Amino acid sequence: MTQPYRLAQGGRIDRNQTLSFQFDGRTYQGHRGDTLASALLANGVRLVGRSFKYHRPRGIFTAGPEEPNALVELRTGARREPNSRATVVELFDGLETASQNRWPSLAFDLSAINGLFSRFLPAGFYYKTFMWPPAFWEKVYEPMIRRMAGLGHAAREPDPDAYEHTHAHCDVLVVGSGAAGLAAARAAGDTGARVMLLEQDFEIGGGLLLDPRHDGWRNETIAALAAMPEVRILPRTTAFGYYDHNVLGAIERVSDHLPVPPAHGVRQRYWVVRARQVVLATGAIERLIAFPGNDRPGVMLATAAETYVRRYGVVPGRNAVLFTNNDAAYATVYALRDAGSAVPAIIDVRATSLAADAARGAGFTVWTGAEVIGVTGTHALRGVQVRWRQDGRITSVPADLLCVSGGLNPSVNLASMTRAPLTWSADLATFVPGTPIQAERSAGAARGVYGIAKAARDGTTAGTAAAQASGHSRSAEFTLPDDDAAAISPIQAVWEVKAKGKSFVDLQNDTTADDMRLAHREGYSHVEHAKRYTTHGMATDQGKTGGLVGSAVLAQARGEPIETVGVPTFRPYVTPVAIGVLAGREVGQHYKSKRRTAMHDWHERAGAVFLETGLWLRPLYYTKTNETGWDPILREARAVRRSGGICDVSTLGKIDVQGRDAATFLDRLYINTFSTLPVGRARYGVMLREDGMVFDDGTTSRLGEHHFLMTTTTANAAAVLEHMEYHAQVTWPGLDVQFCSVSDQWAQIAVAGPNARKTLVTCVEGLDLGNEAFPFMAVADARIAGCPVRVFRVSYSGELAYEVATPAGYGERVWSALLEAGKAFDIIPYGLEAMGVMRVEKGHVAGPELTGQTTARDLGLERLMKKKGDFIGRVNATRPGLLAADRATLVGIQAVDASFERRLRGGAHIVTRRESKQSLGWVASVTRSVDLERWIGLALVRGGPERIGQRMFATSPLHNEVVEVEITSPHHVDPENRRVRT
């Protein structure tokens, strides 16, 4: 029940609320206000993970989102989440966690043997070692590497939680709620600007949280902001990316601090914020120093140790040594001594410093001009080896905690994503944001202005300027924190201590300083190449603690200044993002919307099996009991050929075209002519793309002198409309033509079969359907069951057929009336499959033939092409390659075997001999033919028409199938087109 490293008092945790949690099966206690990391440290848990490549034991290294080591699996079952940084996981009662990347156990990991073979595992080893034989990669090497190097394990079950997306607009967006961010929000809010303040932590305050003396100002500022109606504060919200035109993406972790999200609540929320002005008060992150053993459990960043003491009331070590190159890090030793820890030595690389003098005055032992060259202890730190820089003298000091500070790096990720350049600051030995490009400014530590009071002042300036730039200039007056910062000595840039052993520049990827030098020797000298060769700066922490150190080592190897070498490009995401929140509500049924036709409910009641085509749900066939496989399809197709059937064809694209130049426009859109079409008639049309390939086909009816109704294929409805809009607006703006989609406004029903006319005559009012009065391709208005309809005498099935269109609201009524009228002839509803059977039999081209690589000539539609006048695609369709004699052209194929025994397949190749590998073309569409009682199809075959009558083979080596076929005309059924004109 005890937490041996918890202080009796101090910090921001609530000791009255004790929370139980598990780590690797053991139960521990923490308090409300803890992170998983602080609670583990309070319980003395030092070893929390194994490294990625060498499986070295690792401990908690930081106290924030930059953590490279302490990656754990959270929760179990469907909510298991791997690679979670323990340093940002808010503790709750019942949290179950586990370490990763170890087997059989964390303390005894067999793969740690990799460490002994490390000279065989240098940077880029997987490019070199696992090359041969090539076949081994997939079966042997990759699974082995995955097992050895894998991080955590994702949940196997579907994510049970809900996520959502929210869009927001504001005048001033402030990222970060430390002294600079709070002051910026206050300054902007006071002007009346709409302000959003995002904070990744669960507590507002950033660096203010480390010192209770700042509580007054912090609380007062938060209260003032909360009272402003135009200010919104979002804790637990990480701005992960900065995009064009001042859009930022952010993730709000709404319920991650709860065991499960509340009923009907979301786990996380994805914010898209468009801001007029942005203030980046993202603070700074301490960087490591590369020295041998700088990855051992017990080595920790100095600010992290200070944070554990001051914010969480936890001592991360009882015997602490500090290794620093700057004054700011000295705050840590004061915090540790206040917490009762011994501080046997402070190791400062600088020969002298104000902070060292002050510390000596306060009774600390300070070894100036010294550096750490190694540590002892594997699973826990036991001692630190120190070398004086001037004379090389070596000593060692026992310690269970080594605090390291290589200086601070401003968190410039977001600023850099705006493409603003980074500027090298020699004074601070780091990069700071340069001149902004987008409407943003950095403030406080994010631009190298350190110290609470200075940062707050800087934030005020930034917030005021941002509000002003967004059009809000009311002046504001409020107090700032007191300035009690002492004078400081400058930092001395030290990146690496050269000594024997592995000095890591990237703890998460096990990248050493030697790896960076190797990358340079092997030609990967550009910082982007070195990153990819060594994996330095990749994975969940994106090199936040060691990125600049790696660049510095590379710069040294190249013999160039670090500002020339630079750092790899910063990209989203700043910290890892759960993929579920990116999907938001767009999952399952919400992933894409569904379009249902006016008769959908009827189809459902009739037992239709539906097919999704694009967004549409279309009846595939209607099942009856005891039917299997092709049974319902063939039954429906036979019924249509024998008597009649009706089919829902509402999904066809329909475009109403009007205007004095409507006919001219259609003439230019289609390869054939519409200006000569009489009113009350329809015509089949084919349109090309400008490159000469077939784009779409369909029938177009002339409803009046200046009024046409086009139909498009279901798949191309939207694309054809956009194509028309482009040419009407851009290519021929002078034409008087207007058009719009009426696809959803009309339900459309095909009535097909020898009894189609008899069926219609029974129910149609106000129209003479006699063959002379209403011939093939006629169009007229009429009424069915009191509903207005348009009747088109067009045929897709090859039978005597009509299409009946009615305003969508009447769809089901007209559908039922047609079925009722056809009862005497046993007509039935038929679906997409039966329609497909009949269109292949008839030789009509559809999607499988209109591939975007077939010309009108390839498809036997050349005769439609008008001889005179412009149309889209005309010129390019005459390119020599498209007129070549050996192009594959459309033919029919029929299985020689008059049965359904040996199936044909789409995609099979046409060859002359059974075993031939010389393809003459391919099979596009196949079906069982109800007319011919065998497999038939449509194919594109070189020299097609000349081969009609020849015996060939359709071969599908994938299925090990060869079927003997005869090349035929594409029109398997009624080639003279008699039926449609009966």
Partner 1 sequence: MHLITCPWCGTRDQAEFTYRGDATLTRPDPASANAPEAFFEFSYQRTNPMGWHSEWWHHTGGCRQWVKVVRNTLTHEIAATGAAHDVLKVPAR
Smallest distance from the beta carbon of 878 to partner 1, in angstroms? 7
Residue 638, both tokens? 């036979």
Smallest distance from the beta carbon of 872 to partner 1, in angstroms? 9
**What is the DSSP code string of 176-203?**
--SHHHHHHHHHHHHTT--EEEE-SSSS
**Does residue 725 touch partner 1 according to CB under 8 A?**
yes
Kindly tell me which of 725 and 897 has the beta carbon lying closer to partner 1.
Answer: 725
Residue that the structure tokens 């039978």 belong to: 799
Kindly tell me which of 135 and 730 has the beta carbon lying closer to partner 1.
Answer: 730
Smallest distance from the beta carbon of 726 to partner 1, in angstroms? 6
**Does residue 876 touch partner 1 according to CB under 8 A?**
yes
Kindly tell me which of 248 and 491 has the beta carbon lying closer to partner 1.
Answer: 248
Other beta carbons less than 10 A from residue 676's beta carbon: 12
- Looking at the chain, the number of H-run helices and the number of E-run strands are 24, 48
CB–CB of 956/938 below 8 Å? Answer: no
Residue that the structure tokens 């990669």 belong to: 137
Kindly tell me which of 432 and 728 has the beta carbon lying closer to partner 1.
Answer: 728
- Pick the piece of the chain touching partner 1 (CB under 8 A) from 106-114, 242-250, 464-472, 575-583: 242-250
- Pick the piece of the chain touching partner 1 (CB under 8 A) from 77-85, 808-816, 872-880, 897-905: 872-880
**What is the DSSP code string of 104-146?**
B-SSSBGGGGGGTTGGGS-TTHHHHTT-SSTTHIIIIIHHHHH
Out of 596, 813, 874, 902, which residue is the one contacting partner 1 (CB under 8 A)? 874
**Does residue 879 touch partner 1 according to CB under 8 A?**
yes
Kindly tell me which of 876 and 916 has the beta carbon lying closer to partner 1.
Answer: 876
C-alpha 871/C-alpha 161 separation (Å) is 54
- Pick the piece of the chain touching partner 1 (CB under 8 A) from 244-252, 469-477, 537-545, 974-982: 244-252
- Pick the piece of the chain touching partner 1 (CB under 8 A) from 207-215, 381-389, 603-611, 869-877: 869-877
- Residue 709 identity: L
Q: Which whole-number Å values give the CA distances from 871 to 694, 716, 740, 823, in the listed order?
A: 12, 19, 21, 46
Residue that the structure tokens 């936040």 belong to: 544
The dihedrals phi and psi of 432, each to the nearest 5 degrees, come to: -125, 160
Smallest distance from the beta carbon of 271 to partner 1, in angstroms? 13
**Number of shown-chain residues binding partner 1 (CB under 8 A):** 23
505 Rama sector, left if φ>0, alpha if ψ -120 to 50, beta otherwise? alpha
Residues 6 or more apart whose Cβ sits within 8 Å of residue 682: 699, 700, 701, 702, 777, 778, 779, 792, 793, 794
- Pick the piece of the chain touching partner 1 (CB under 8 A) from 140-148, 472-480, 867-875, 897-905: 867-875
C-alpha 186/C-alpha 964 separation (Å) is 82
Residue that the structure tokens 């099996």 belong to: 609
Instruction: State yes or no: cis peptide before 82, omega within 30 of 0.
Output: no
The H-assigned helical ranges of 273-406 are 302-310, 331-338, 354-361
- Pick the piece of the chain touching partner 1 (CB under 8 A) from 130-138, 563-571, 875-883, 892-900: 875-883
Q: Three-state DSSP class for 746?
A: strand
C-alpha 609/C-alpha 649 separation (Å) is 16
Residue 46, both tokens? 């030092």
Residue 199: name the closest of 222, 225, 187, 181 by CA.
Answer: 181
Out of 203, 220, 691, 931, which residue is the one contacting partner 1 (CB under 8 A)? 691
- Residue 210 identity: L
**Does residue 658 touch partner 1 according to CB under 8 A?**
no
Residues 693-722 that bind partner 1 (CB under 8 A): 722
Residues β-bridged to residue 898 = none
497 Rama sector, left if φ>0, alpha if ψ -120 to 50, beta otherwise? beta
Count CA atoms within 13 Å of residue 9 on its CB side.
Answer: 2
**Does residue 593 touch partner 1 according to CB under 8 A?**
no
CB–CB of 608/620 below 8 Å? Answer: yes
Smallest distance from the beta carbon of 233 to partner 1, in angstroms? 24
- Pick the piece of the chain touching partner 1 (CB under 8 A) from 110-118, 596-604, 609-617, 871-879: 871-879
**Does residue 883 touch partner 1 according to CB under 8 A?**
no
Residues 6 or more apart whose Cβ sits within 8 Å of residue 588: none
C-alpha 783/C-alpha 613 separation (Å) is 31
- Pick the piece of the chain touching partner 1 (CB under 8 A) from 610-618, 873-881, 927-935, 966-974: 873-881
**Does residue 878 touch partner 1 according to CB under 8 A?**
yes
Kindly tell me which of 220 and 690 has the beta carbon lying closer to partner 1.
Answer: 690
**Does residue 245 touch partner 1 according to CB under 8 A?**
yes
Kindly tell me which of 141 and 243 has the beta carbon lying closer to partner 1.
Answer: 243
C-alpha 631/C-alpha 172 separation (Å) is 66
Kindly tell me which of 171 and 458 has the beta carbon lying closer to partner 1.
Answer: 171
Smallest distance from the beta carbon of 419 to partner 1, in angstroms? 7
Smallest distance from the beta carbon of 618 to partner 1, in angstroms? 24
Binding map of partner 1 across residues 389-428, x = CB under 8 A, - = no contact: ------------------------------x---------
Smallest distance from the beta carbon of 654 to partner 1, in angstroms? 16
Sheet with 707-712, side-by-side order of all strands? 682-688, 694-704, 707-712, 653-658, 738-741
Residue 863: name the closest of 669, 668, 673, 667 by CA.
Answer: 673
**Does residue 690 touch partner 1 according to CB under 8 A?**
yes
Residues 422-481 that bind partner 1 (CB under 8 A): 437
Smallest distance from the beta carbon of 587 to partner 1, in angstroms? 19
Smallest distance from the beta carbon of 272 to partner 1, in angstroms? 7
CB–CB of 179/208 below 8 Å? Answer: yes
**Does residue 917 touch partner 1 according to CB under 8 A?**
no
- Pick the piece of the chain touching partner 1 (CB under 8 A) from 240-248, 284-292, 471-479, 544-552: 240-248
Instruction: State yes or no: cis peptide before 754, omega within 30 of 0.
Output: no
**Does residue 867 touch partner 1 according to CB under 8 A?**
no
**Does residue 981 touch partner 1 according to CB under 8 A?**
no
Out of 135, 730, 885, 958, which residue is the one contacting partner 1 (CB under 8 A)? 730
Smallest distance from the beta carbon of 438 to partner 1, in angstroms? 9
**Does residue 582 touch partner 1 according to CB under 8 A?**
no
382-419 CB burial, b ≥16 within 10 A, e <16: bbbbbbeeeeeeeeebebbbbbbbbbbbbbbbbbbbbe
Largest Cα–Cα distance in the chain? 115
Binding map of partner 1 across residues 270-289, x = CB under 8 A, - = no contact: --x-x---------------
Binding map of partner 1 across residues 247-266, x = CB under 8 A, - = no contact: x-------------------
Smallest distance from the beta carbon of 684 to partner 1, in angstroms? 24
- Pick the piece of the chain touching partner 1 (CB under 8 A) from 117-125, 320-328, 729-737, 967-975: 729-737
Kindly tell me which of 273 and 456 has the beta carbon lying closer to partner 1.
Answer: 273
Binding map of partner 1 across residues 313-352, x = CB under 8 A, - = no contact: ----------------------------------------
Say which DSSP state 696 is in: E
Kindly tell me which of 274 and 635 has the beta carbon lying closer to partner 1.
Answer: 274
- Pick the piece of the chain touching partner 1 (CB under 8 A) from 65-73, 473-481, 723-731, 838-846: 723-731
Kindly tell me which of 103 and 726 has the beta carbon lying closer to partner 1.
Answer: 726
Residues 6 or more apart whose Cβ sits within 8 Å of residue 12: 33, 203, 209, 311, 312
Q: Which residues bind partner 1 (CB under 8 A)?
A: 243-245, 247, 272, 274, 419, 437, 690-691, 722, 725-726, 729-731, 733, 870, 874-876, 878-879
